[in-house]
Amino acid sequence: MEVPEILEKLSEASRLLEQISQDVSPEHRSSAFTAILTALLLQKSGSHLSKRVEPDVSDFIRKYGFRSFTDVVLGLAYFFLHSQGKNSFTVSEMREAYRITRRPEPANFNNLLDNLADKRLVKLLSQKKEGIKGWVISPKGEEYVEALMASQ
């Protein structure tokens, strides 16, 4: 588990602690916090996508019948932006989303994203995101996804 992930889990634990501090008697608060922190740290993670959105992203892709690699990648980018408020994504985040949706991955995400950039459906960020290339869906890419959604 990497530092940002640990910090996210500690932040979640802190929010839960605040909530239980009002609901749990003072003599049980320490035990409750320890149990919450242990459970959060033991959760299998490895992505920036939280467990609570996994069914949502799968349902979104399935609901609109995205099938081609182009449609799925743009659909996921659209979902990241509009459902999670994430302006950008990396190839590893896209791979994790594919894993969650149980879709076969493209042979080469970078080539696919380069082709989508040539069509102006996505844009490569000028600055790297955490040392890794980051991508954003373009307005044209959003229109493409919205047209697919409207046709369903």
* Residue where the block lists tokens 């467990």: 51
User: Which of 145-150's residues contact partners 24+ apart within 8 Å by CB, and which partners?
Assistant: 145/71, 145/74, 145/75, 145/77, 145/78, 146/78, 148/64, 148/65, 148/66, 148/71, 148/75, 149/64
- Residue 48 banded pLDDT, cuts 50, 70, 90: very low
Q: Are residues 111 and 37 in the same domain?
A: no
Q: In terms of domains, do 65 and 29 share one? A: no
Domain that holds residue 80: 51-150
Please state which of the ranges 28-42, 59-73, 85-99, 116-130 shows the lowest mean pLDDT: 28-42
57 and 17 share a domain? no
Displacement of CA 7 from its chain's centroid (Å): 17
Round the average pLDDT of the chain to a whole number and report it.
Answer: 79
Q: Which residue has the higher pLDDT, 56 or 147?
A: 147
What SS3 state is found at 89?
A: strand
Do 38 and 56 belong to one domain?
Answer: no
- The whole-angstrom separation of Cα 41 and Cα 134 is 27
Question: Both tokens of residue 17?
Answer: 């602690």
Same domain, 74 and 108: yes
pTM of the model: 0.63
